[in-house]
Amino acid sequence: MNAVYVHIPFCRHICSYCDFCKVLHIKTFVDDYLDALQQEILNTYDGEIIKTIYVGGGTPSCLTHNERKKLFRILENFNKAPDIEFSFEINPEDITEDLLDDIVAGGVNRVSLGVESFNKNNLAFLERKMNYDDLEEKIQLLRNRGLDNINLDLMYAIPGEKMAALKKDINNLLKLNPTHISTYSLIIEEHTKLSNNNTEYISEDEDRKMYDYICKTLEKHGYNHYEVSNFAKDGYESKHNLTYWLNQEYYGFGLGASGFKGGVRYTNTKNLSEYINNRFRKEQLLLTIKDQMDNELMLGFRLLKGIDINAFYDKYGKNIQEVYPVEPLIKDKLLIYKNGYLYISPKYIYTMNEILTKLI
């Protein structure tokens, strides 16, 4: 247990595609929420040395100066490793000198910026704001403060989007020279504005073409494609997210947050009133060994290097080929076994769900 996720659900605006647990930033709720967050941490955290903290949302950067100061005082409850990776999600328009003062003083050393797109039609569809010149200026402010570990999010496969628009978005991201890029094909989730408007996906062929272009272009420019949707310069892979993909246990604190502790996967309530009244948990499930092994495959095969066969045996006392029909898939060249790792052939990573269906 060396990773912590903290959820801040408050936003100034609810985007059309977002299905994360979120509420509008109403000042009267925030103080009570942070009090409850502190109580949940005090009730649950067992004092381990924490190597990664990720503060996500919602929009953590929409908190006021006093709210941020209170949040960082709460996070002082964690016993942090000297080399901790401490990430904080930020909307670019929220970046000010005051915000930077607060997050640097709070120990943040990695930021994730929700760019999504630079195309005006895409931005209107997503109900986002973005301006390249402004973002370039804000990123320089981050770097001036020593915040060089920067992730930029990109969304693609947006209805009406053409390849030319995607290519321009990728080119703009590359000019900004972030250390990490996360890319997401649009998913139309239930209970979002897009779903309520009966929005339809673009064709699967077009989605695949966009994905292939992203992979080839980012790799060509020095980014390691280390996870299905994530690309990093050498040494800048997300340590926090690797905790998830390696199926390791982690704490999740806050409204709607999920965690994995002592073989139990848990999810917190999404009801703000319940959470503020210290009724944190919504669901808890004790996983069987088979459940955990299934998760090991579903998460581990997201990594391009795949699953460490010896680590799997050490963890579960079983050879992976004794539990899952991997040999026929190796024979069909859907899976590759090399240097102690079992992984999905890069040619088929886009269709990994079909391969997982054959295994589980």
In order, the DSSP letters of 295-315 are HHHHHHTTBTT-EEHHHHHHH
- What are the counts of helices (DSSP H) followed by strands (DSSP E) for the chain? 15, 17
The CATH homologous superfamily to which domain 3-245 belongs is tm_1862 like domain (3.80.30.20)
Domain ranges across the chain: 3-245
pLDDT at 149: 98
DSSP class of residue 235? T
Alpha-carbon distances of 328 from 51, 294, 321, 337, 358, rounded to whole Å: 39, 18, 10, 12, 10
**Per-10-residue mean pLDDT, the chain, length 360:** 95 65 75 97 97 94 96 98 97 95 97 94 87 95 97 94 96 97 84 73 90 97 97 98 97 97 96 95 96 96 96 96 95 95 94 92
- Residue 121 has a pLDDT of 92
Return the pLDDT at 7. Answer: 96
Q: What is the pTM of this model?
A: 0.94
Residues for the chain: how many in total? Answer: 360
Residue 259 has what pLDDT? Answer: 97
Enter the tokens of residue 96.
């000010």
Predicted local confidence at residue 28, as pLDDT: 84
Bridge partners of 232, per DSSP, are: 180, 224
Pairing of strands 149-156, 3-8: unpaired
